[in-house]
Structure 1
Amino acid sequence: MILITGATGTVGRPLVELLKSREITVRAVSRSADGALPAGVEPVIADLARPESLAPALEGVSTLFVHPRAVGESAGKLLAMAAEQGVRRVVVLSAINVDDDPAYQPSRQNGDRNKEVEDAVTGSELPWVAVRSSTFAVNAIGMFGAQVRAGDVVRGPYANFAESSIHEADLAAVIAHALLHDDLDGRRIPVTGPQSLTHEEQVAVIGTVLGRSLTFVEVPAEAAAEGLVARGIPGAFVTALMARYARGAGQPAEVTDQVERILGRPARTFADWVGDHTHAFLRDTASPA
């Protein structure tokens, strides 16, 4: 039995689906019953701010997946409970920039505590694997989706800031391998997509996959920040994000071959990801061509 926290999110959902497709018994934890799960997956509704609420669900579990956003500050208590219940392995999702200065990690402004959760897992008495992910490719929907749906010009800051975005299906497959096998135990594994692409290059790839000619127009960081805040994105996050872009502008993103090494096949490209998510970029029918 494998227990998955954050089971209905960007990573948890494809992970649950992949494990179920391999006929693995899965117990899927979420905060509410809103997210549909594959048939045969056992749903568990729990508030992980109160990890004791998960105690009954740990019975009979051999392996635990810890999602840092779902578990947060409760990681230490959850790991202690897991050990008491006989869990034999734990895999944690972390971030490729987890060792950077916290001020350089915008996600912390949204409550993520990747470092603290990873430390709780690696400091536990259980065999562990830490999967340190690069930026999720799905973030491109929030960055570019609305503008691509509305027209052929995408405006944004730092045209030459690069990411090595990873397809969520590849990330789920790496995590599944770590859950099912022990060859990665004790490792902190940086996983990325196979390419470093700038914002401008990502928009060009989206256009190519859609069969459209898209143009990226760089705008000043201050104007971009004002626009994000106007859309309701917290100012502290926006400030940290723009600072991250400024520090990394003009530099290639880190690219690793860990996905291919672990899965025995090449990582999916950003174009592959766009092809799997074209619905997010289709033109708004109410918008002018």
Structure 2
Amino acid sequence: MRGPFAELEMALVHERDIADVATRVLLADGHANRHAGARYVLTGPEALTQAEQARRIGAAIGRPVRYEEVPPDVARERMVRSGVPAAFVETNLRFQAGLIGLPTEVSPAIQQVTGRPARTFDEWAAEHAADFR
């Protein structure tokens, strides 16, 4: 895998966790709805660098995957050339660059709302392994 900012950490959230939280919040009983007006920060249970994410995808597919860091200008060119809108690319690269060196928040909100722990990146990688083969 190639991209900028190999050491950028993120606590990626599983899409089914987002759906589970939304379902609980939207279907909660009317007047006693403890979610009314609440704002939840949804994250995965651990912060991982992009390099570590690649390694774990490799473990899920049964072959080594490494993250090769490229300069942001190279990443920008590749993304635009592959059809990603330039405005999105610029916003995404600025956002990622701004996160470098900042502590990554890991929120308990998924557990608090659903009553079970957030799914791990390893679970997500195993479920999506076919997408990477």
TM over 0.5: yes
Any stretches of 5+ residues in structure 1 without a counterpart? 1-153, 283-289
1:188, distance to aligned residue in structure 2 (A) = 1.1
TM-score w.r.t. length of structure 1: 0.43
* Counterpart position of 1:205: 56
Partner amino acid, structure 2, of 1:261? Q
1:164 corresponds to 2:11: yes
- What is the alpha-carbon distance in structure 1 between the residues aligned to residue 14 and residue 57 of structure 2? 14
Q: How does 1:71-150 map to 2 (within 5 A)?
A: none
Tell whether the 8 Å contact from 1:170 to 1:267 is kept in structure 2 after alignment. yes
Flag as ranges the 4+ runs of structure 1 deviating above 2 A.
250-253
CA deviations 1:237-270 (Å, max 9, x no partner) are 1111111121112334221001011111110001
Structure with bigger strand share is 1
Distance 1:158 1:257 in 2: 26
Structure 2 length normalisation: TM-score? 0.91
Contact 1:259 1:266 survives alignment (8 Å): yes
1:233 aligns with 2:80: no
**Stretch moving more, 192-201 or 249-258:** 249-258
Separation (CA, whole Å) in 2 of partners of 1:271 and 1:252: 21
Correspondence for 2:68: 217
The whole-number CA distance in structure 1 between the counterparts of 2:91 and 2:37 is 31
Structure 2 stretches lacking a partner, 5+ long: none
* Cα pair 1:159 1:218 within 8 Å, conserved: yes
Which structure dedicates a bigger proportion of its chain to helix? 2
The correspondence of residues 245-264 of structure 1 with structure 2, limited to 5 A, is 245-264=96-115
Cα RMSD, aligned residues only? 1.2
Could you tell me how far apart the structure 1 residues matched to 2:113 and 2:97 are? Answer: 33
Query: SS of the counterpart of 1:191?
Result: coil
Query: How many residues were matched structurally?
Result: 129
CA–CA distance in structure 1, aligned partners of residues 38 and 5 of structure 2: 34
The answer as to whether partners of 1:190 and 1:258 remain within 8 angstroms in 2 is yes
Identity of aligned residues (%): 39
**Bigger-Rg structure (1/2):** 1
SS in 1 for 2:46: coil
C-alpha contact 1:163 1:253 (8 A) present in aligned 2:
yes
Residues 199-256 of structure 1: CA deviation (Å, up to 9, x unaligned):
1111011011222111111110000100001111111111111111211123342210
Whether the 8 Å contact between 1:160 and 1:250 is mirrored in structure 2 is: no
